[in-house]
Structure 1
């Protein structure tokens, strides 16, 4: 091959295969060892002669050098002041080796710089994604001030009020759907990759981009039109302080959207449990959670009350997947749950205790709970128990409204019995199916039909199972 052919080959390899392909070809073409060596430390398993030569090259400030050994020659060409292209070749080496290495040094230097820039860009992208995820985590735990401070540095500002969207898209298409969402909202939406579900995006958009009838939403419609293989659930209009509720609403709406021809749905109107229970249940909730809010760990590295509260909230919403959200090992999650059980006197294997904890967390705020809990001696003595709360007429009305769909004209046969059996067996499919006398797939299909009826997610967390248990218990107490 002529020198021009070699130069063309070098440039093609650098463009198509990067530095690794180019170095591999140089090695096979010249024989011996060819690689990139750092001036102060070896870059990979470099021969001693190449490391020594690169250091000498940098110390003398020259662009090229040849070091002769007893049976080999080391050819060096400076790349960027801290690295050198080096070749350790047996004598006599290929006569065109110096020219070929000199011709390869420039494209190799360029491609190495491009690869480093790409790695830096990827690190920045990952860091931004982690910061956006941290802002979402702060919102879900009531840390609005800190969330605002961090979000301002990245932009856009967090919308308040807002609607929350949960967008489900095929694996590998989240980046594309994120770009589409930014275009549709003119960059005003706060977009986060869901840390739990790899197919989900969480979008906080200003209400102006989400006006229209309760059954439709312009942003959701545009997203589905631009990405027909996606499904979108939309919350009601809320303030940032209500982000946990907005997420739950959007997640339930997504369960409806999956089975809809439109592929999008807005959370249907209905009474909110936290509003109905606040008057009767606030004192009970503060008393129940007081040991958690006032808990002080014995060691600085152990989780405090706020961190345990966030752990409980994440586990109730995502069960074992909470490890992805909290970035902890499953054994750490299990240990924290045991501590929460011990502090609160609960058995979190039981749906009844899960439901009680879920309601108590919704009726208290993480930020203001400590002040209320510090006066919890007198408060705890006078506070009612959960059954007293659920007997309140406001809770009875909520429960009847919440459960009315199970016995309405559109309800599938046996809807009430299916839900009761499922709840009675702690929302576990296998024992519930056995109690109903049907197969596990059959029980799953029944619950999927009930999901569409209630417009709530049951089988996938965050699940409406806690509200259903509380509603059934309230109705039972009223009966």
Structure 2
């Protein structure tokens, strides 16, 4: 009798683990579809388990960071707090992150989940939280980026929480119609491909500009070789060197502008990205963006400018500046703290820095390096 009871308990536990694994795979699949912008398929996929969850137009995202060994418990706590009104997924790219996607029908509605998550983090001293603003459901990848930026900021805040605050996005500084035309021209070799291939390559490109190949592969559920193969094809189609930080920056901005209407009735090449960002508004944003570096006695502008010119290579930067590589790393860590950005781990913060230097100094690397290696009045004015 006792053995029979033990066997039934063991069987029930095995069934529970199997159900949890199935639920996790389903939620991960839905997240991957949303990250790729395939909302209809994501809605159909989740309909059986959570009817109506994604039948909305908007969503916001929270990223929670915790010690790796605490992730499973934090994910369960988030599921309990959200009570089936959100998609809770252990992040496939970072072993110490939990993703919470909160679909909303009305951005002006009550925000009970946001308050619950904030109160939860306040009670958990090892947990950090970054929250995005509201985004269309088709732009969950952008919401992730937004939340990640705030998570980076939360690491330096006493409350360990950071929500979206008003900030100027570099893409918003560009002339809408002219910038959309530039983006359309840049991405045209991809846009003319058959729909399945186009969607696959654009999704891969969008994620690979944000993450390493390994993390991109985990998010997409494919191999690293598949990601690298697709990126090689993108580079061939665009005739571009994707190892060049300037190229990656341009593609990142172009993807942000992809859905905007282009300027009508124009023929021939339009203004490029240096002209689009190098306006009075663009330069003012860049000076404000890089301004915190002036509070450090070291010339961090010099190091940062050379680092961008060297395609973010520490050894190459050290060689250009005649510094020890460890000194360059220390300068970059100080820069990250002052700007509230994550630079050395890759990601989109690097593109903001590149755009700031592009706005101030133009497109020529020697010019960028020469100006950034001296304390220019235009930087500090």
**Partner-residue secondary structure (3-state), 1:295:** coil
Is 2:157 the partner of 1:157? no
TM-score normalised by L of structure 2: 0.81
Measure, in 1, the Cα distance between the counterparts of 2:162 and 2:218. 27
Question: Is residue 2:93 matched to residue 1:196?
Answer: yes
**1:279 CA drift (Å):** 2.9
Change (3 A) 1:400 1:141: farther
Deviations 1:310-332 (A, max 9, x none): 11111111122212112222222
The reply to whether residue 265 of structure 1 matches residue 153 of structure 2 is no
Aligned match of 2:171 in 266, 274, 278?
274
- 1:406-456 CA-to-partner distances (Å, cap 9, x unmatched) read 234863232322221221111223322443444444433332332233233
Matches within 5 A, 1:22-421: 106=4, 111=7, 114-155=9-50, 157-158=53-54, 160-205=57-102, 208-209=110-111, 218-277=115-174, 278-296=176-194, 304-320=197-213, 321-365=215-259, 381-391=268-278, 393=279, 396-408=280-292, 411-413=295-297, 414-421=299-306
Structure with the greater alpha carbon radius of gyration: 1
Per-residue CA deviations over 1:337-358 (Å, capped at 9, x if unaligned) read 1111110111001101111111
* Preserved contact between residue 178 and residue 270 of structure 2 (Cα < 8 Å): no
Distance 1:200 1:253, change over 3 A: same
Larger RCO, structure (CA 8 Å, separation 6 or more): 2
Aligned-residue offset at 1:115: 4.5
Tell me the CA shift for residue 242 of structure 1. Answer: 3.5
Contact 1:411 1:450 in 2 (8 A): no
Unaligned runs of 5+ in 1: 1-6, 15-105, 212-216, 298-302
Q: In 2 relative to 1, CA 382–333 (structure 1 residues): closer, same or farther, beyond 3 Å?
A: same
Distance in 2, matches of 1:228 and 1:448, equals 24
SS of 1:201's equivalent? strand
Alpha-carbon distance change, 115 to 264 in structure 1, aligned in 2, over 3 angstroms = same
Sort the Cα spacing of 1:415 and 1:347 in 2 relative to 1 into closer, same or farther, 3 A: same
Cα RMSD after superposing both structures: 3.1
Cα separation, 2, equivalents of 1:268 and 1:431? 36
CA contact (8 A) 1:166 1:201 kept: yes
| Greater shift in the superposed pair: 173-182 or 250-259 | 173-182
Higher mean C-alpha deviation, range 313-322 or range 241-250: 241-250
> What is the deviation of 1:469?
1.0
CA distance in structure 1 between the aligned counterparts of 2:304 and 2:128, rounded to whole angstroms:
26
> Any unmatched runs of 5+ in structure 2?
364-377
- Check conservation: 1:405, 1:453, Cα contact below 8 A: no
Instruction: State the shift of 1:229 in Å.
Output: 0.7
Cα distance in 2 between the residues matched to 1:147 and 1:399: 41
Distance 1:457 1:380 in 2: 40
Shift of 1:255: 1.2
2:341 to 456, 474, 478: 456
Distance 1:134 1:157, change over 3 A: same
Q: Between Structure 1 and Structure 2, how many residues are aligned?
A: 353
Quote the offset at 1:197 in angstroms: 0.6
Kept after mapping to 1: 8 A contact 2:293/2:338: no
Distance 2:317 2:112 in 1: 40
Counterparts in 2 of 1:363 and 1:404: CA distance versus 1, 3 Å = same
Q: Which 10-residue stretch deviates more, 169-178 or 272-281? A: 272-281
Contact conserved, 1:268 with 1:455, CA < 8 A, in 2? no
